[in-house]
Amino acid sequence: MEANVGAVRDWSGAVRPWWQVSPNDLTGTLLDAGTRRLNDVLANDPVLRSIDGLWSANPFRTIVPVDWAEVARALRTVWMLSLSRPDKAVRKAADVQAAVWTSAMEAWNDAGRRWWGMAGGKVADGSRSGSAPDGDKRFAAPEWHANPAYRTLKEMYLLASDWLLEQGERADGLDDAERRRLTFHLRQFVDAMSPTLLLFSNPAALRRVLETGGVSLADGARNLLSDLREGRLSMVDATAFEPGRNLATTPGKVVHRNRLIELIQYQPAGGAVHAVPLLILPPWINKYYILDLQPKNSMVRHLVEQGFTVFVISWKNPDASMDGVGFDDYMDLGPLEAADVVRDITGATSINVMGYCIGGTLLAITLAWLAAKGDTRFNAATFMVSLQDFSHVGDTAVFLGEPTVDFIEQQMMERGYLDSREMGNMFNLLRSNDLIWSNVVNNYLMGNKPPAFDLLYWNSDGTRMARAAHSWYLRNTYVENNLIVPGKVRLKGEAIDLGRIPQEVYAVGAEKDHIVPWDAAWRVTQLLKGSKVRYVLASSGHIAGIINPPGGKGTYWTDGAGEPGATAQAWRGKAAAHSGSWWTDWTAWLAERSGRKGKPPALGSATHPALADAPGAYVLEK
């Protein structure tokens, strides 16, 4: 995965500048040639090449990673496509203008009624796409509702935004990938144009200036200069947390270490434990302690308290010396070697296993590889927000087409790895309002320190990607989607066929997941033909949907009949909703497949003695 979208296009050709394109060209040859011809023209435009080059050289590029060349291309695509249907474009523009006038008159009339002591009218909602004022944090300041000037500005922005996004969603002649790309970059433009991002049109920031006597402006400038020096946007107070101090504090020992992993065994909470231990494979694109944050939201601590013997892999943060580490090494030195260590320490003949996100993809491949060899070292398996079928990956597809992967591989060839900041930029752009622009307002306009939030600290504590392994992963998943074709992938001499996986499976999707769409996570129920799969849908997103301990908010859905359904939508239609955390459902399922309880095993063994206290050394590598 890659986020440095600003330089993924190699515009090497030359075409006429847009100002030299005649109306005849637009209404004749160009439009008659269709959308693909249009996209080719835009891709080779020297004006867009110049925009891209200027923005890539701009130091703000490292703070706000929006690809303005792609945004410019998207805007011009909408403009040129609208020329093919001028009657429709004029009619829609007139509708938007009328809506703006209506909204403005309502805002000022409402202000007049309040001035005369009359009850105010209902606040108009100019948005049809989910950015309604009542639910949009950007417009939380009371002035956006009570002040007619600000309210008019807000409504104009929302109406214009919806109009522009609708042009992308309803553009004729585009395939799904083209429409997704167009809409994505239009949304980046819409988000970047919010009036809340300018000091003089942000009432909360102006109020802050008056309250502090201008100190907030000085603090904001200081924050901006600091971020420019660091080459990143500060999203969290980095001094507030540290693994081993107030994160990743569940007691345990590192009981095995190789060049790719540290294996952590956690200390029992007391009392008897289930006979079958649990091995957890976290994603190697992030650090493992997302599963062991603070005691109140630690999945690891919860599992230990429920009487499970828990082992977790902590992946090494690759550097240039690990350039040649391949995907087969991740399987060999990761789940396979870890499983041998776990069985040696506990005496168990087979163990349960869980894979989170890309760790689940690795787990599926490993289970298929073991099935081909007749190896039964793993018992029940759990997949959390994991992809095996990459035909539907949501907005991440914008970043992971063939040209982008080519560019990623060029970068990795130069460095020996993919830098973690580029990964982080991509994920941040998928939720730019929450993860980019809200921090721009907080840090620079309001002059505040970044918040102290454990999830944001973990999100900022990224890892690099080993070149060979990451290249193999991208091409066999996002680019070619080879895992769903039996025998298409071979690892260590064995053909990978997901349909041969025999383990019972528990799979979790997240309702608002922007990285692994819930219906894509559901596909595991169809691919694992030899398995009995229980699929559960959690509320919220990729992280909050998983890190949702009992006692908090949340909803999850299960199919009481235990059948996956013919389609994801069919499954959803008959699924039953439950209040609370899905953790309770999972631990009950896991307990039934973990054997009787008895005396807990020792931490480590004579063959694998304890090497260090958890969280170990690999997780601390920057």
Tens digits of per-residue pLDDT, 141-199?
A: 999 888 888 888 888 888 888 888 888 887 777 888 888 888 999 999 999 999 999 99
Exposed, middle or buried, 245 (CB in 10 Å: 0-12/13-18/19+)? exposed
> What are the pLDDT digits (tens) for 378-408?
999 999 999 999 998 877 877 777 767 776 7
- Cβ–Cβ under 8 Å, residues 329 and 278: no
Least confident of 39-43, 109-113, 221-225, 438-442: 39-43
**CA nearest neighbour of 537 among 505, 511, 566:** 511
CA distance 482 to 620: 34
357 is catalytic: yes
User: Phi and psi (nearest 5°) for 298?
Assistant: -90, 115
What's the rounded mean pLDDT across residues 427-438? 87
Stated pTM of the model: 0.83
- Cβ–Cβ under 8 Å, residues 432 and 517: no
- Taking the CA atoms of the chain, what radius of gyration do you get in angstroms? 27
- Cβ–Cβ under 8 Å, residues 503 and 380: yes
What's the rounded mean pLDDT across residues 591-598? 96
Tokens of 93: 């523009």
> pLDDT-based confidence at 60, cuts 50/70/90?
low
Percent share of the chain, pLDDT over 90: 55
Q: Is the pLDDT of residue 219 over 70?
A: yes
**CA nearest neighbour of 383 among 476, 504, 287, 484:** 504
CA distance 489 to 429: 31
Length of the chain: 622
Tokens of 511: 């309702």
> What are the pLDDT digits (tens) for 116-129?
665 554 444 433 33
Q: What is the pLDDT of residue 95?
A: 65
Q: Is the pLDDT of residue 5 over 60?
A: no
**CA nearest neighbour of 354 among 346, 344, 363, 345:** 363
> pLDDT-based confidence at 97, cuts 50/70/90?
low
Q: Is the pLDDT of residue 86 over 70?
A: no
What's the rounded mean pLDDT across residues 269-288? 95
- Cβ–Cβ under 8 Å, residues 514 and 486: no
From residue 323, how far is each of 326, 379, 467, 475 by CA, in Å? 8, 33, 5, 17
Query: Per the residue annotation, which of 263, 357, 508, 619 is the catalytic one?
Result: 357
**CA nearest neighbour of 154 among 142, 144, 166:** 144
